[in-house]
Each structure stands twice: as structure tokens, then as C-alpha cells.
């Protein structure tokens, strides 16, 4: 295969999220989050796994940062646990919670690694969950207060601030399908949550800017929605509907001034959108400096009157849309491997929503890694050629988008470490670094060494 070079200053890095790696669930005044509650609820998470210990990153961050430096990472995207900063979600900040991120940021900067902050990666303080979570408009206001407090402590050293990670998951999986915390199955709640999440983004972005932040953004997981049959009008209509519910419901208010008519009409059949108040859309549409894109696989749909629809994750699609089962080769999540979907998605966003720089904030794959010779402390090597192939294919796809003119600023692999994969618990391994959960020993997989090489060459 041909060799490829990425633009100068292309940002190479890795991503993680607080609840998935930190552990230390009760340390230094951290309050409970909706994920603590959800993971303790029987039947919600594979084998009752929780984030109580996870990768123990809270105590091992220095070792982990040293590993990042060894791999040559230029950027590290991590999330801040709101329940560490405000254990009850409101009220006085807990300085010991902020101290942890203070230490982490200093450790990163000392190694020349740019910190990229995500303010919300799904771990809502439980006491806000008790008051309706994202279905309660007040949560959006509280989020802005938390964002400002966090900026106040870290803003002098952190340049890149993103508000939410994948509000699609928070809203539709949290309140629609119930696969994620808080585990509700209520289509009206899902749409209400979509709006309050976007409002929370808008309020937090405004607060961050007022405090002096220069680079403010948000991370979405837009879908590359494809028709089963490119010549079918019914399939094209299904694409339009699913694209509206998954993509345009977020992208249009953020980047095109407001919700699209067809989406509001669809939502209106499920719930009267009175939660959208005067001024909300203007606030949400305030310019951002960066759009984070998480991409894993494409979505194929067909328009069929007897289609099963997407269940709670796509309210109102039953009896109209069929979601096609993924076809091989599949990852350990059962997700399709289709790098071309990333090129299409990046190009589409750059075309339909021009002017905002893009950053791939997550891309990667779970595979049932088979560690090599086991030693008492953990495996000595992990030969993950399938992950290397996945990453290489997607980097080529990202490069293709750049060569077609997309303003793509960097690539962050998901994930640095094997970690708590939400409802799947620890059974899915996404890391380029293997974690032995018994000993907490970290072993860079072959993909980590391969990635190190990619970074040092700035290409493939
Ligand atoms: C994304 C999440 C991330 C991780 C990957 C596999 O949806 O943002 O936390 O779980 O999927």
C-alpha cells in the first residue's frame, strides 16, 4: 500500500472517559453518578461490572501519562467527572476533585501533551438524575455552572474545551432504549433530553467564553446513514428520517441556526416540543471552534412498512424503517468495519456545515485480544493485527477526506486503555494498551507500537 503523509501539526492522540477508566468511585469526596446507580442495578451491565475500580487511573495517572509520552501522543482527550467537582451536581465545588485534574493536566503539559477536555461523558451526578436528569431543564443550567467552575481552575492551562460527548447516546440510549443510564424507555423523554443537552451545551459554551475560553466545541457521533438500495425511493426516505433523528437534530441547531422542520414535525407526533423556548435556538447556534466526530461504523436502512424500526433509540421509526443487520467482517462489538463511511461522513459534514474545523475525537475497535505468553503480572505481548488493520483503514479514510478538502485537524484513537465499555462491562477491549484488571498492569499492544510509528512519521 502507498505511503501517506498527514498535514503538518496534525494532532495525534488518544481518548478516554472518566467513568470508564478512573475508578476511585468514592475517593476525595466524589458523589455518585447515574452510572454508579445503573451499573449496580441487576441486569443492566454485563455480569454486574461497575466502574468502581476500572483501570484505577485516578491513582495511576502518572504512569499512564508516562506511557502516553512513550507512545509519542501529542494530545490526550479525557473527561472530567462532574460528581467529583460537584458531588451533588449543584452547590459548592469540591476542591479535592479539581485537584486530581490539576495534577493530570500538569503531568500532561510536563510531557508536551495537549489536554483536550470533555466536560460531560455521561456520568451525571445522581442527585440531578433524581430530579429528572436531562429531562429537567434545570440540569442544563447546572451544567453551565459546573463548566465555569472547572474552567476557573484549569482554564489557564487547558486550551481545548468540549462540552458534551455524544448527546445522541445520552438522550436516546439513556431515555429511549434504556440501554444506558438512567435506563428509561420513554420516547418523549428522549426528545426532551436531546433539547436540554443542546441547551446545556449552549449555556456552557457561553459561560466558557465569558470566562475567556478560546477553543470551545462539542463531540457528536454522527451516523453515515446509507440506503440498502441506492435506487429505491422508499430507502431514500428512510435515510432522510434516520438522518434527521440522528444527525440533523444535533447538527442543524448547532451549525445551521435551528431545528429542521421535518424533524420537528416528527418529534411533534410523539411530544409537543414546548421544551424549546424562545431564545434557545439562538443560544445553541452560537459559533463553535471545533466539532468532534466519533465514528465506528455505518448505518444501513431500508424503507419498509413492516420494518421493525430502531426501537427506543429511534423513536417513531417502527413500521417505517428497517435497520439492516451489520455484515462482516465485524468487530467484537458486532460492529461493521467500513472505513469508507468515515470519508463520506467527514465530507458530508464539511459540505453541509462548512466552516467548522473537525477533529476525530474517537475511532477504534474492540477485538477479543489474545495475550501472548502470560507472566504472573500480565501478558508479555498482545498481537492485535485486526485492530491495526482497522486503524490503518480508517486513517487512510481520514486522509482521503483531507485530500478532498476537509478541514480535519487530528485523530484520537479510542481508546488508550482497555476499559469499562458501558453496558458491555469489561468484556470488550478497545485499548491500544492492554489492561490486566487483576494486577492493573498495562501492556502496550502491537497496535500501540504501530501507532507510535505512525505518529513519529506523521503518516503511514
Ligand atoms: C462511544 C463512547 C465511548 C466508547 C466508544 C466505544 O460511543 O463515546 O465512551 O464507549 O463508544
Query: Grid coordinates representing 60?
Result: 495511576
Q: Given the C-alpha cell 431545528, which residue does it identify?
A: 259
Residue 253 · residue 281 · CB < 8 Å: yes
d(C-alpha 137, C-alpha 22), whole Å: 29
Contact 13, 75 (CB under 8 A): yes
| Number of CB atoms found within 10 A of residue 179's CB | 18
- Helix, strand, coil percent content, the chain, rounded in steps of 5: 45, 15, 40
The single residue of 362, 392, 400, 421 carrying the catalytic annotation is 362
* 392 catalytic residue (yes or no): no
Distance 17 CA to ligand 1 centre (A): 9
Centre of ligand 1 to C-alpha 317, Å, is: 24
List Cβ neighbours of 87 (8 Å cut-off, separation of 6 or more). Answer: 29, 30, 31, 94, 97, 125
Q: What is the pLDDT of residue 370?
A: 74
Q: Is 39 in the pocket of ligand 1 (CB under 6 A)?
A: no
422 lines ligand 1 (CB under 6 A): yes
Ligand 1 in contact with 166 (CB < 6 A)? yes
281 is catalytic: no
Q: Output the pLDDT for position 378.
A: 66
CB 184 within 8 A of CB 137: no
Interval between CA 106 and ligand 1 midpoint (Å): 26
In short, whether 332's Cβ falls inside 6 Å of ligand 1 is no
Q: Is residue 176 packed enough to be buried (19+ CB in 10 Å), middle (13-18) or exposed (0-12)?
A: buried
Site of grid cell 495537549: 114
Distance in Å, CA 332 to ligand 1 centroid: 14
Nearest to 208 by CA among 160, 280, 271: 160
Question: Which strand (E) or helix (H) includes residue 383?
Answer: none
What pLDDT is stored for residue 250 in this prediction? 99
CB 321 within 8 A of CB 179: no
**Alpha-carbon gap, residue 313 to 303, rounded angstroms:** 17
pLDDT at 377: 60
Q: What is the pLDDT of residue 349?
A: 98
All three cell numbers of 178, joined, read 434504556
What is the structure's pLDDT at 379? 73
CA 149 centroid distance within chain = 22
Beta-bridge partners for 299: 225
Best residue among 20, 421, 431 to mutate for probing ligand 1's pocket (most ligand atoms within 8 Å of CB) is 421
Q: Which helix (H) or strand (E) holds 9?
A: none
**Angstrom distance (rounded) from CA 389 to CA 398:** 14
Q: Check residue 373 and give its pLDDT.
A: 56
The finding on whether 169 has its CB within 6 A of some atom of ligand 1 is yes
Question: Is the C-beta atom of 120 inside 6 A of ligand 1?
Answer: no
Tens digit of pLDDT at every position of the chain (460 positions): 789 999 999 999 999 999 999 999 999 999 999 999 999 999 999 999 999 999 999 999 999 999 999 999 999 999 999 999 999 999 999 999 999 999 999 999 999 999 999 999 999 999 999 999 999 999 999 999 999 999 999 999 999 999 999 999 999 999 999 999 999 999 999 999 999 999 999 999 999 999 999 999 999 999 999 999 999 999 999 999 999 999 999 999 999 999 999 999 999 999 999 999 999 999 999 999 999 999 999 999 999 999 999 999 999 999 999 999 999 999 999 999 999 999 999 999 999 999 999 999 999 999 998 777 555 566 778 999 999 999 999 999 999 999 999 999 999 999 999 999 999 999 999 999 999 999 999 999 999 999 999 999 999 9
Residue the block writes with cell 465545588: 93
Ligand 1 atom showing the smallest separation from residue 20 Cα: 9
For 12, 69, 147, 369, 420, the CA distances from 359, given in Å and listed in that order, are 10, 21, 21, 28, 24
Give me 93's grid cell: 465545588
Nearest by Cα to 124 from 38, 7, 222, 64: 38
Q: What SS3 state is found at 141?
A: helix
Q: Which of the listed residues 19, 166, 337, 362 should we mutate to test ligand 1's pocket, taking the one with most ligand atoms within 8 A of CB?
A: 362
Q: Is 421 in the pocket of ligand 1 (CB under 6 A)?
A: yes
Amino acid at each position: 500500500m502507498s505511503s501517506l503523509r498527514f498535514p503538518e501539526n496534525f494532532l495525534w492522540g488518544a481518548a478516554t472517559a472518566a467513568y470508564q477508566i478512573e475508578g476511585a468511585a468514592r475517593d476525595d469526596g466524589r458523589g455518585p453518578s447515574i452510572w454508579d446507580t445503573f451499573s449496580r442495578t441487576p441486569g443492566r451491565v454485563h455480569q454486574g461490572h461497575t466502574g468502581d475500580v476500572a483501570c484505577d487511573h485516578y491513582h495511576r495517572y502518572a504512569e499512564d501519562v508516562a506511557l502516553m509520552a512513550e507512545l509519542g501522543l501529542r494530545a490526550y482527550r479525557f473527561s472530567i467527572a462532574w460528581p467529583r467537582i460537584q458531588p451533588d451536581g449543584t452547590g459548592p465545588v469540591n476542591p479535592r476533585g479539581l485537584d486530581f485534574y490539576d495534577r493530570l493536566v500538569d503531568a500532561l503539559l510536563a510531557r508536551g501533551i495537549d489536554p483536550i477536555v470533555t466536560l460531560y461523558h455521561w456520568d451525571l451526578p445522581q442527585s440531578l438524575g433524581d430530579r429528572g436528569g436531562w429531562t429537567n431543564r434545570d440540569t442544563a443550567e447546572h451544567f453551565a455552572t459546573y463548566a465555569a467552575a472547572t474552567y476557573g481552575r484549569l482554564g489557564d492551562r487547558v486550551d481545548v474545551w468540549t462540552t458534551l460527548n455524544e448527546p445522541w447516546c445520552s438522550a436516546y440510549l439513556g431515555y429511549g432504549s434504556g440501554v444506558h443510564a438512567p435506563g428509561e424507555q420513554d420516547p418523549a423523554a428522549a426528545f426532551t433530553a436531546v433539547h436540554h443537552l443542546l441547551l446545556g451545551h449552549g449555556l456552557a459554551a457561553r459561560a466558557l467564553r465569558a470566562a475567556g475560553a478560546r477553543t470551545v466545541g462539542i463531540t457528536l457521533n454522527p451516523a453515515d446513514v446509507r440506503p440498502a438500495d441506492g435506487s429505491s425511493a422508499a430507502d431514500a426516505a428512510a435515510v432522510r428520517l434516520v438522518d434527521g433523528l440522528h444527525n440533523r437534530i444535533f447538527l442543524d441547531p448547532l451549525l445551521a441556526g435551528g431545528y429542521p422542520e421535518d424533524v420537528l414535525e416528527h418529534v411533534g407526533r410523539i411530544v409537543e416540543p414546548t421544551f424549546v423556548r424562545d431564545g434557545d435556538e439562538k443560544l445553541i447556534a452560537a459559533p463553535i471552534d471545533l466539532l468532534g466526530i466519533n465514528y465506528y461504523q455505518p448505518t444501513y436502512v431500508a424503507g419498509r412498512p413492516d420494518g421493525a424500526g430502531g426501537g427506543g433509540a429511534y423513536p417513531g421509526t417502527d413500521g417505517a424503517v428497517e435497520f439492516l443487520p451489520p455484515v462482516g467482517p465485524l468487530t467484537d462489538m458486532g460492529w461493521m468495519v467500513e472505513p469508507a463511511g468515515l470519508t463520506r461522513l467527514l465530507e458530508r459534514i464539511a459540505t453541509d456545515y462548512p466552516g467548522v474545523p473537525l477533529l476525530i475525537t474517537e475511532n477504534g475497535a474492540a477485538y477479543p485480544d489474545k495475550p501472548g505468553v502470560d507472566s504472573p503480572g500480565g501478558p508479555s505481548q498482545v498481537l492485535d493485527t485486526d485492530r491495526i488493520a482497522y486503524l490503518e483503514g480508517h486513517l487512510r479514510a481520514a486522509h482521503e477526506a483531507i485530500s478532498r478538502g476537509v478541514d480535519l485537524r487530528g485523530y484520537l484513537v479510542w481508546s488508550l486503555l482497555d476499559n469499562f465499555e458501558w453496558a458491555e462491562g469489561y468484556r470488550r477491549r478497545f485499548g491500544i494498551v492492554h489492561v490486566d484488571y487483576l494486577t492493573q498492569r498495562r501492556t502496550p499492544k502491537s497496535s500501540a507500537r504501530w501507532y507510535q510509528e505512525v505518529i513519529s512519521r506523521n503518516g503511514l
